[in-house]
Amino acid sequence: MPFASIRIITDDVDRLAAFYERVTGLTAARPAPVFAQFTGAGATLAIASPATVSMLGGAASPASNRSIIVEFEVEDVDAEFARLEPDLAAVVLRPSTMPWGNRSALFRDPDGNLVNLFSRPEG
């Protein structure tokens, strides 16, 4: 079964879409005001209003997740972090080398979701 996407439910689609446009350098596809989508080489990130899941009752709640990390593989973690840092409200981990060799920087998006920029070790 092919992986399709991850969807983040938010009360402010415009704000979160603008944030991820800055992070990815991509322009979000906006088929409706309540929905934005980024499609890259490895995955799709969707951002949607609670209206898109209203039929589920309270199963999805904006800005309440503490168990997911949205990850982007980049060539140069330090350069990307330096580019984004002035706009980041919450830095969790400045660029660091992980014990398994990846270089990572973690911060929170405007809804509090963790975002990881990482690069794999060469070789």
pLDDT digits (tens, 9 = 90+) for 63-118: 998 899 999 999 999 999 999 999 998 999 999 999 999 999 999 999 999 999 99
Top pLDDT among 39 and 40 is at 39
Residue 123 has pLDDT above 80, yes or no: no
Domains of the chain (ranges plus CATH)?
A: 1-52 (3.30.720.120), 66-123 (3.10.180.10)
The pTM score is 0.92
Q: How far is CA 92 from CA 6, 25, 47, 82, 96, in A?
A: 22, 21, 22, 14, 11
- 60 by Cβ neighbours in 10 Å (0-12 / 13-18 / 19+) ranks as middle
